[in-house]
Each structure stands twice: as C-alpha cells, then as structure tokens.
Chains A and B, each alone.
Chain A
Amino acid sequence: MGAPFDLNDDSVVVIVGSGAGGGTLGTELALKGIKVVILEAGQRHNMEDFINNEWDSFAQLAWKDMRTTSGSWRVHKNFPNLPAWIVKAVGGSSIHWAGASLRFQEHEFRTRSTYGDLQGANLLDWPVTLAEMEPWYVKAEDKMGVTRTNGIPGLPGNNNFKVFEAGAKKVGYTEVSTGHMAINSQPRHDRGSCQQIGFCFQGCKSGAKWSTLIAEIPVGEDTGNLEVRSECMVLQIEHDASGKVTGVVYADKDGNHQRQKARIVAVAGNSIESPRLLLNSASSMFPDGLANSSGQVGRNYMRHMTGSVYGIFEKPVHMYRGTTMAGVVRDEARFDTKRGFVGGYEMETLSLGLPFMAAFLDPGAWGRSFSTAMDGYANMAGMWLVGEDMPQETNRITLNTDVKDQYGLPVANVHFDDHPNDIAMRNYAYRQGAAMYEAVGATRTMPTPPYPSTHNLGSNRMSEKPRDGVVNKHGQTHDISNLFVSDGSQFTTGGAENPTLTIVALAIRQAEFIAGEMSKKTI
C-alpha cells in the first residue's frame, strides 16, 4: 500500500517537521522503501508563489505562533515574541536559508577536549568525529549540489562580494571565496542555475537553491512511500505502558484532533519546537517530558555568536543584487585563543532590503545617526559574522504555562544570555569586519546586533552518556528506542559553520541507521 497512509497504520515512521532534517530523513527513508508520514505545521507553497518583498514574504513564511523570551539578549528587548526568524511551511527553514554549506572542522566535534573546562560553558565532545561524518558530508554535498565540491564551479561574485573580497585581501585574509553554496552555479539535478535574483531569504523563485520543498520531498513522494500532510500541528507524542512511543496527536487544518499511529517517531521541528513537543508530551510515566531523564531537554540552546557589520562607501554598491550569501572569509574560523576567545567564526556576505534594514540595523534607534545610515543604503556593503557560541545549561527552552497557543498548549519560552566568550568573539569580529571595509574606503561602519535567531541549535543534544544529553550518536533518544530527534537540536556544540549541511548529513546517516535497525527488528 502506497501513500496516503491510514491513521491506524502503525508501521509508518512519523516525522514531525519537513525542513532540512525532517524533509531529508523522510525522503531518504522513502527511497529505502520505508513508509513515512511527515506532519508539517505550515502550508505548502509552490516556489513560484514566493514573494520578492520582505514583509509580505515574512507574512507568508515565518513562524509567527506565539513565543516568549527572557534573558539579557537584545532580541528579548527588541523582539520579545520573535526569538527566531524561521519558517512555518513545507520545506521548513530550508526555504529561508541562504545556502552556505560548510563542513564542521575536526576540533569542533570535540570542544570539551580542545577548549578545556570553560567556566559557565557546558562543553561536551560530540559522540561522533569528523572522520565518521566525512562520508555523510560527501553524500550531503552531492545531494545538495554544493559549489566547489563534486566539480561544481563556484558562484560568480556580486557587488557585495567584490567589496568584501577586496577588503579581506587588504587586511591580509587569504581564505576568501564565493563559498560552498547549495545554489546551482550551473544546471544540475533538474534545477537551473542562479539568476542572481537576491531575496534568497524569501524563498528561491528560480529553484537554483536547494530546499527540501523542491529538491527532496518530491523525490520521496514519487516513490509512493512518503506522505506529507501540511497544516498539521503535532501536539503530543504518545507512548504505551512499556515506554515505547506509539504515535502522535495532531491538529489538522480544520483544527480537528487526529491520532496517527507510528512504529517510530522522529522530531524535527527546529530547536524551539522540538524540545517544546517533548516537554508538552509529559505523562505519568515521564513527568518531566519524553526523553528527559537527563533533564537536558531544552537546555544548552545555542544560536551562534552572530552580528553584522555594514559599511558605507563613497560610491554605490547595491549589495542586495544577486546571491545574498555567496561570499566567505574562513581565516577566523580556526581555533586560536590568542584572540581572547575559544572557537572561531566565519565572515559571510549578507544584505537586507531597505525594509528589513530599517527593522534590523539598530532596532529601536531613531534620529540622525540612524537615518543618515539609512540614507547610505545604496552605497552600503554588508557582512554577517557567524561563530561558535558556548552551550550553557541556563540557555534554555521551557514551557511558559502562563501563555497558551491557539491549541491551548503552553508556548515555548526562549531564555538566552551571552557567555563572556560569545561577547569577546563578537567584539573582535566587529573590529575585523570594520577593518575590512575601512581598508577599501568605507567612510562609516556599523556594528549591527544579532537578528532574531536563524541558527537554532542544541536543545536536545547528542551525548555519549545518557546523563549528559538527550540523544545518542544516531539521534536516537537515550530513553526511548523508537523516538528520534532529526534536526539541529541534536547538535552537541554549534561549530562556527552554518548548520544546514551538517543537519542534512546527520539526517542521511540517521536514515541509514533507522533502516538498519528496522530490518534487524530492534525498533
């Protein structure tokens, strides 16, 4: 029997979420002949329907369900109900991501061993190594069509990159290029090449950028083994008396509650919703939430050390033209404590349109300092700083029982404080970014604070020992053998690199593991 599957079919794998983790896992399993139901909270859009307008696109794609925040991070002050800028739609945040696809560095899988015991940081080595991950990175890069791998040429540099590259070379950086991008520089896998549209964050209208919406899910569906149910919000994971999960309860598009039985449940709702679902699934047998015997569900939430630097020049740049993030300097990604911090960071080209620049350049600011910066928009170049932030147990997703969502469930509260290492790295990165632009004639530079989080990581982390985390090296929860986590919330630590490539590599690897265990009948 092919898709669609019956609610009472308890042989299916149910995946919660259809983004880089869930969409990839579902497709990989379907290709192996395993029956999969993906439940996605958001709507399904065609890529032609994406909108080249920042606010209209935000209304179309963003996860806007109620969330709350706390802590000393500035997002709490400026955007108290928008901790993260992520997507609620089939394809998840793989619609919104910019395409930067960098592998983790070897030492970033073993930060506790490399960085030592850093006060306040809950560092832990991953239970996997780079050597173990390399074959899966190879598969992910091929699947996603990452430039500068598999013989695929790099993307051409846009105006923003030209300024970025010239500045980087002037200050002595050597590892500068248009990056490793999951955006076609030439036609590949039935998808065309980049038309330099810009608006990468608003969903790629040409299909050049990899997303699970256009590049994975249709492949899975063609097998007859994958069913994607959109506008289905999973409310609770259920289990039996033996502690095995048995299925999920979800609200369908009409608000009716449905119960989908399952042999295996994989949670891939991004690092805020995934722990929220585990916590909201508490029962008399698991009073602290599912898979939470360690008490680590929701903890060690990471968002990368981020920030941006914008520079204004005497002459026009038009940074928004073309691929948003095809530009990277990797010289600062290394481990080198002489800079005053552990971990490293990437510098990547970035642009915002005028409406989002107004919202994010310096949230809450007003007056001539702000408006004259905006006057320089056409002459502006921009970069994003993305580095490894320290996991802290107190940076945490919890249930806010005072605030309920449209289904009557407690919303997620996101608490975050920067670690001193994060602040030291950000300040250093601000200076280096400004120096790059000043080296090529910037008359003014602006250190822009972190946006609502796009890289949400770590809140169900991987650990070798069950007491240290939520899942094992395959994303299988330590407590419940047929319950998996399949998104970035598995990350033990964050690395300096954009996380999607690693999420996809882990999902491919996890599909192999799940298929093997199913055939061995261990789950």
Chain B
Amino acid sequence: MTTLIDRRSPPRQSPGGPSRRSLLAGIGAAGALMIAGGAIINPREAWGLEVTNLKPETMRTLIVMARDIYPHDRLADQFYAVAMKPYETGSTDPALKQLVEGGVAALDTIAQGEHGVPYAQVGWEDQRVAILHKMEHTAFFEKVRSGLVVGLYNQEEVWPIFGYEGSSADKGGYINRGFNDLAWL
C-alpha cells in the first residue's frame, strides 16, 4: 500500500482493522475512502493518508469536495488526495485549521439539513454541487477551489491521463515526434 504521507507515529488503527462503523461510513459519495483510526485508506487504489492535524472525516470530505469541484471520472481519488494533503500538513497553523474544519462543518450542516447525512455521504454529485453553490462565495470554498487549479492540474502524474506530454526539449522537441502528425482532417 502506498503511503501518501509519511507516518510520524504508529497508526492509531484499532487492532481488528477498520471498524464496522468506519466501513459503513464508506458508503455514499466517499466511496472507497475509508477511515481507519487516524488515517484515510483507499483499499481499491492501495493508498493511505495519515491525518493528525485535521479530523480524518474532514480530510475525507475535502477529497470528495475536490472531486465535486473539478470532477474527472478518469482520475483516481489519489490525485484529489494529493491535492488536498497540504490542508493536513498546513493545519499546524490554527488559522488554516479553523478555516478548513469550519468550512467542512458548514458543508455538513447544510447536508444534514437537506439530506440527513454529512456532505460526503450525499448520494448524487448534483445534490452535493447544489450545496457547494451555497458555499461558493466563502473564503473556504475559494481557497479550496483556487488551490486545486495548481494542486490538481500541475501534478505531472495526471498529465498523461489528459493526453498532455509535459516537457519536450529534453526529448528533442517534437520535430521528429509528431508535431504535424494529425491526419484526420
């Protein structure tokens, strides 16, 4: 299993593995994102993300929110998790932590009021997007959205999925690599 963040302390996972409660919590938009002790694990994609500064549930909601903001069905959760990881590492700053925890709590409050479940467990993207629209003028939403523009699309690992080839001079440019290979016109 890939670890997206280095463990600085032993896992706080309960001895018997993920609890029934956390497994049940995986149902809904959160999909394969399970909470096990102080970490989010995604068995399907084989990665884990330790969360200590934020509540693990908060990080899971951020990952769901990130996908709802820039939904790419061909991108695995891990790319959204990488984009959201700075909120965990950066939440040693109380101001950032308060912004994030407060923002997620506000999302959950709206979700509970409208659907009776937290944001991450609201079933349809459209329903969650409707919640985001109620939040889109907040500092919290704008920080997450604007951060994603670089945090998601500047991950070199996502470029091939979009068909972008990145750096080219080191490969001799495209003069012999298809700069004019378009033949469908």
| Residues of A participating in the B interface, judged by any CB pair closer than 8 Å | 52-53, 55, 156-159, 162-163, 166, 194-199, 205-206, 315-318, 320-322, 353-355, 357-359, 364, 366-368, 370-371, 374-375, 377-379, 440
Binds A, one of B4-12, B50-58, B64-72, B95-103: B64-72
* Number of B residues with CB within 8 Å of any CB on chain A: 36
Interface of A is mostly: loop
Counting from the closest, the 9 A-B pairs by CB-CB distance are A378-B163, A195-B173, A322-B179, A358-B153, A52-B167, A197-B173, A354-B164, A196-B179, A159-B182
14 more A-B contacts (CB under 8 A) besides A159-B180, A354-B162? A52-B167, A163-B182, A195-B169, A195-B175, A318-B163, A318-B165, A320-B165, A322-B174, A355-B154, A358-B153, A359-B153, A366-B70, A374-B162, A377-B164
User: What 1/0 flags go to B135-173 for Cβ under 8 Å of A?
Assistant: 010000000010001101110001100111111111011
* Partner among B145, B164, B169, B178 whose Cβ is within 8 Å of the Cβ of A378: B164
Once the chains are docked, how many angstroms separate the CA of A103 from the CA of B173? 29
Once the chains are docked, how many angstroms separate the CA of A154 from the CA of B166? 26
| Residues of B participating in the A interface, judged by any CB pair closer than 8 Å | 69-72, 74, 129, 136, 145, 149-150, 152-154, 158-159, 162-170, 172-175, 177-182, 184-185
Residues of A within 8 A of B175 (CB): 194-196, 322
Residues of B within 8 A of A158 (CB): 174, 179-180
A469 to nearest B CB, angstroms? 40
Interface pairs (14), CB distance under 8 Å: A55-B154, A157-B180, A196-B173, A197-B174, A199-B167, A205-B169, A206-B169, A318-B163, A321-B174, A322-B173, A358-B149, A371-B70, A375-B74, A377-B162
B184 touches A315 (CB 8 A): yes
Residues of B within 8 A of A370 (CB): 70
A146 to nearest B CB, angstroms? 20
A440 touches B185 (CB 8 A): yes
Once the chains are docked, how many angstroms separate the CA of A504 from the CA of B139? 45
* Partner among B71, B153, B180, B182 whose Cβ is within 8 Å of the Cβ of A355: B153
A53 touches B71 (CB 8 A): no
Interface of B is mostly: loop
Residues of A within 8 A of B180 (CB): 156-159, 162, 322
* Partner among B70, B129, B153, B184 whose Cβ is within 8 Å of the Cβ of A354: B153
Residues of B within 8 A of A375 (CB): 72, 74, 162
Residues of A within 8 A of B173 (CB): 194-198, 206, 322
Residues of B within 8 A of A315 (CB): 184
* Partner among A166, A199, A206, A353 whose Cβ is within 8 Å of the Cβ of B164: A353
B153 touches A159 (CB 8 A): no
Once the chains are docked, how many angstroms separate the CA of A358 from the CA of B162? 12
B174 touches A366 (CB 8 A): no
Nearest residue in A to B162 (C-beta to C-beta)? Answer: A377
* Partner among A162, A196, A206 whose Cβ is within 8 Å of the Cβ of B185: A162
Residues of B within 8 A of A371 (CB): 70-72
B98 to nearest A CB, angstroms? 23
A53, A55, A354, A368: residue with the most chain B Cβ atoms closer than 10 Å: A354
Residues of B within 8 A of A379 (CB): 163
B159, B164, B165, B173: residue with the most chain A Cβ atoms closer than 10 Å: B173
B162 touches A52 (CB 8 A): no
Q: Provided the pairs A55-B154, A375-B162 are in contact, do residues A162 and B182 lie with their beta carbons within 8 angstroms?
A: yes
A82 to nearest B CB, angstroms? 13
A320 touches B164 (CB 8 A): yes
